[in-house]
């Protein structure tokens, strides 16, 4: 299965980062092409896709959501999201086509399942500057609307750069002090949360390890530490929801971060396939857990 999964992941990354390339409000045709590709992939699996549209810097932008309805706790949800836009000047293979590819394949792996609580998989628009932190991030629009409807989101998982791995000693960097507690080679995936979300993040980590021996490091930290809040989970923290980021640690490992060299051939698709399968199983487990 992992061979076909790996091939699918490569196909998605090649389309988003190789064919479409840089995609943001400064390249609206490319941003729309990416949205249409993701929407077509979701629909091809058998999902109905809901578009949440809004205008950002004069460009119509869309979050793309699919839903697996919960059978036991239908009014409770877990949101799994990945942004599909890129920073200016980068084709964004790792950031963030790798995570969008994983999101599409998680949807494929979970299709036909009847989760205990509702699973919502969302491709977010406009995570990168000029929207990040202060602007109209797609995830900010989504989380704010969810809070206004008083949605009971039990957990949000932000998939942020999942495809770059190194086995050499010294290939992994950290913010100050973190290096004393985590390995110095970049062959793992990281779960990162704020302190309020650490219990549910640890529950997710247990579920992940139950299904896979893929190397996993997890940490809860202050949001002001560089990198800790730098993705779509921040939007959910701001609305009072618990959330964590799943990441290959971005610029702490990947030397091509936010550059024109963030291209599809740099990624490790066999490892991304193993990770994607584990994440899908983790999400299915969490959807059926009483203790989140």
Q: Partners of 272 in the beta sheet?
A: none
- Specify whether the CB–CB gap between 114 and 55 falls below 8 A: no
Using DSSP's 3-state secondary structure scheme, residue 219 falls into: strand
195 and 177 Cβ atoms separated by less than 8 Å: no
pLDDT tier, 2 (very low <50, low <70, confident <90, very high otherwise): confident
Under 8 Å between Cβ of 127 and 83? yes
Domain ranges across the chain: 2-287
pLDDT band at 17 (very low <50, low <70, confident <90, very high): very high
Helix (H) / strand (E) containing 7:
helix 2-13
DSSP secondary structure string, 42-91?
HHHHTPPPEEEEEEETTEEEEEEEEEE--SSEEEEEEEEEEE----TT--
Q: What is the pLDDT of residues 182-240, one digit of tens each?
A: 889 999 999 999 999 999 999 999 999 999 999 999 999 887 787 778 899 999 999 99
pLDDT of residue 1: 61
DSSP per-residue codes, 227-278:
TTT-STHHHHHHTT--EEEEES-GGGT-TTTTSTT--GGGS-HHHHHHHHHH
Residue written as tokens 């460009």? 59
Q: Is residue 179's pLDDT more than 80?
A: no
Closest alpha carbon to 102 in 286, 268, 288: 268
Tokens of 120: 């919502």
> In the numeric block, which tokens belong to residue 65?
């959501």
The answer to whether residue 74 scores a pLDDT higher than 70 is yes
Q: Quote the pTM value.
A: 0.96
Residue 176's pLDDT band, with cuts at 50, 70 and 90, is confident
3-state secondary structure at position 211 = helix
Is the domain covering 2-287 a CATH 3.40.1350.10 domain?
A: no
- The predicted-structure confidence for 92-149, as pLDDT tens digits, reads as follows 999 999 999 999 999 999 999 999 999 999 999 999 999 998 889 999 999 999 999 9
User: What confidence tier does 156 reach under pLDDT thresholds 50, 70, 90?
Assistant: very high
Rounded percentage of the chain residues whose pLDDT exceeds 70: 100
Q: What angle do CA 13, 135, 153 make, to 5 degrees?
A: 70
Read off the tokens for 232. 């779509």
Average pLDDT of span 81-89: 98
pLDDT of residue 9: 98
Predicted confidence at residue 66, as pLDDT, reads 98
């Amino acid at each position: 299965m992992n061979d076909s999964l790996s091939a699918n992941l490569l196909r998605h990354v090649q389309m988003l980062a190789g064919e479409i390339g840089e995609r943001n409000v400064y390249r609206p045709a490319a941003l729309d092409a990416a949205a249409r590709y993701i929407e077509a992939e979701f629909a091809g699996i058998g999902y109905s896709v809901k578009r949440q549209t809004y205008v950002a810097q004069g460009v119509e932008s869309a979050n793309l959501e699919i839903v697996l309805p919960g059978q036991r706790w239908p009014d409770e949800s877990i949101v799994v999201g990945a942004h599909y836009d890129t920073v200016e000047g980068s084709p964004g293979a790792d950031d963030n086509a790798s995570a969008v590819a994983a999101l599409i394949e998680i949807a494929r792996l979970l299709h036909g399942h009847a989760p205990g609580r509702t699973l919502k998989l969302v491709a977010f628009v406009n995570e990168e500057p000029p929207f990040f932190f202060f602007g109209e991030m797609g995830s900010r629009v989504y989380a704010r609307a969810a809070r206004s409807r008083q949605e009971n989101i039990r957990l949000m998982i932000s998939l942020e750069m999942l495809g770059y791995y190194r086995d050499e000693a010294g290939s992994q960097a950290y913010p100050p002090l973190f290096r004393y507690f985590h390995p110095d080679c970049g062959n793992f995936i990281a779960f990162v949360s704020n302190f309020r979300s650490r219990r549910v993040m640890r529950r997710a980590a247990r579920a992940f390890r139950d299904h896979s021996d893929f190397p996993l490091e997890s940490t809860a930290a202050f949001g002001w530490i560089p990198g800790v809040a730098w993705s779509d989970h921040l939007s959910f923290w701001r609305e009072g929801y618990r959330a964590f980021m799943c990441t290959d640690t971005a610029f702490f490992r990947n030397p091509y971060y936010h550059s024109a060299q963030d291209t599809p051939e740099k990624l490790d698709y066999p490892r991304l396939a193993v990770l994607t399968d584990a994440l899908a199983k983790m999400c299915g487990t969490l959807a059926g857990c009483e203790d989140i």
